[in-house]
């Protein structure tokens, strides 16, 4: 008995086809070049023999690992799993796999992880960690590493990105509150160094300016982060500075949950005293009390589009930088209502 791993040649002999045919079948990118009947026979024999591709050898020959590094800032944030699912599904269709790393917000930690991923010969990177002016992205571009940012963008325009159209999302939120009769609307913005914080703030202000409201009645308060704790602290301070506020558009659902905490602490109620609109439509936002009105982002679609873009960037290194913005939608639930008379 031998423990020798079966080779492509072994699979070819068992299948009764040429070595090159087996090679095409084993590569999802070229499998369509072989008839479905032959491909099925080859795959069946490969499974029976226990054949496993030698990725290390393949990488040496093709200089392609068929692995993409995906870097997340907070894997516990419910926004990212559906994005990651879309990325993985999009990559697998073309025979690629994802290596996922969770790095937090520390720039040195990000550099360490990305350098380790590059040392593993990943073919490209999908980054959900981008800041508006991000030296990590500049380093990747300088080293000719294919890179795409997801959910956030780097405004220097050196890397393709896939994001939600935050200007549209904020307009939908403001128009909804205006239609309910609110005239003292505030915004709890995300950090200004992130595109999501910056663009959603601009979108909110643009929507106010497009309305009949006096812009001075629209109060903007920057949260220190996209967390429940930050949201609570932000709304407590916002209401101290702008007590006439009757509705709040938040930068994320987690911030909105923090607003719920602040409203309860103050002995107020939502939406009777203050209406709250979230952003993202994370799972279970329909099950909290009150169910959260929010801006639904196409997270899975963002992921699949990011996979498409990174593979395009790998295949065509000189392809233009693309800024893909997917359209969000307003989901109206019970956290918004007309203001008290």
User: Could you report the per-residue pLDDT of 187-242, keeping only the tens digit for each?
Assistant: 999 999 999 999 999 999 999 999 988 888 789 999 999 999 999 999 999 999 99
Architecture of domain 8-53: Orthogonal Bundle (1.10)
Residue 136 in this model has a pLDDT that exceeds 60: yes
Answer for the pair 286, 324: CB distance below 8 angstroms, yes or no: no
Q: What is the pTM of this model?
A: 0.80
Confidence at 330, pLDDT banded by 50, 70, 90: very high
Burial tier of 189 (Cβ tally within 10 Å: 0-12, 13-18, 19+): buried
Confidence at 3, pLDDT banded by 50, 70, 90: low
Residue 7 in this model has a pLDDT that exceeds 90: no
Max CA pair span of the chain: 86
Answer for the pair 73, 105: CB distance below 8 angstroms, yes or no: yes
Which strand (E) or helix (H) includes residue 48? helix 36-49
Residue 2 in this model has a pLDDT that exceeds 70: no
Q: Which residues contact 112 (CB under 8 A, 6 or more apart)?
A: none
User: 65-164+299-328 sits in which CATH class?
Assistant: alpha beta
- The Cα 234–Cα 226 span in angstroms is 11
Mean pLDDT of 254-282: 97
Question: Could you give the C-alpha distances from 308 to 94, 169, 259, 317, 324, in angstroms and in order?
Answer: 10, 24, 37, 14, 11
Residue 317 in this model has a pLDDT that exceeds 60: yes
Residue 54 in this model has a pLDDT that exceeds 90: no
8-53 and 65-164+299-328 share one CATH topology? Answer: no
pLDDT at site 119: 82
- The Cα 249–Cα 119 span in angstroms is 43
Q: Which residue has the higher pLDDT, 69 or 106?
A: 69
* Domain assignments of the chain as residue spans, ordered by start: 8-53, 65-164+299-328, 166-297
pLDDT at site 32: 79
Confidence at 269, pLDDT banded by 50, 70, 90: very high
Mean pLDDT of 18-39: 81
Q: CA 249, 323, 129 angle in degrees (round to 5)?
A: 65
Mapping DSSP to helix (H, G, I), strand (E, B) and coil, where does residue 37 land?
helix
Fold topology of 166-297 = Rossmann fold (3.40.50)
pLDDT at site 25: 82
pLDDT at site 233: 97
């Amino acid at each position: 008995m031998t423990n020798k791993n079966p080779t492509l040649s072994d699979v070819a002999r068992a299948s009764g086809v040429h070595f090159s045919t087996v090679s095409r079948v084993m590569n999802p990118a070229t499998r369509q070049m072989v008839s479905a009947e032959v491909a099925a026979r080859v795959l069946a024999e490969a499974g029976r023999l226990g054949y496993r591709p030698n990725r290390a050898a393949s990488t040496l020959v093709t200089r392609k690992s068929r692995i993409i590094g995906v870097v997340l800032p907070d894997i516990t944030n419910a926004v990212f799993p559906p994005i990651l699912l879309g990325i993985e599904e999009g990559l697998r269709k073309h025979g690629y796999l994802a290596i996922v790393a969770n790095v937090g917000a520390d720039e040195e930690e990000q550099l360490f992880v990305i350098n380790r991923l590059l040392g593993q010969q990943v073919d490209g990177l999908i980054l959900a960690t981008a800041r508006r002016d991000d030296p990590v992205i500049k380093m990747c571009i300088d080293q000719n590493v294919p890179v795409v940012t997801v959910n956030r963008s780097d405004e220097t325009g050196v890397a393709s990105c896939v994001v939600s159209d935050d200007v549209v999302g904020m307009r939908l939120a403001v128009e909804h509150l205006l239609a309910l009769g609110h005239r003292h609307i505030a915004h709890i913005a995300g950090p200004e160094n992130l595109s999501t914080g910056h663009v959603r703030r601009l979108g909110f202000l643009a929507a106010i300016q497009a309305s009949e409201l006096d812009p001075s009645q629209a109060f903007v308060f920057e949260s220190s982060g996209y967390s429940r704790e930050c949201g609570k602290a932000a709304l407590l301070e916002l209401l101290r500075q702008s007590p006439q506020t009757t509705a709040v558009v938040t930068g994320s659902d987690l911030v909105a949950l923090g607003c719920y905490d602040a409203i309860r602490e103050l002995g107020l109620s939502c939406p009777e005293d203050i209406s709250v609109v979230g952003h993202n439509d994370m799972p279970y936002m329909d099950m909290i009390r009150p169910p959260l009105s929010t801006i639904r982002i196409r997270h899975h679609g963002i992921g699949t589009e990011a996979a498409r873009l990174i593979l395009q960037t790998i295949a065509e290194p000189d392809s233009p930088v693309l800024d893909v913005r997917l359209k969000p939608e307003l989901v109206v639930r019970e956290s918004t209502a007309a203001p008290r008379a």
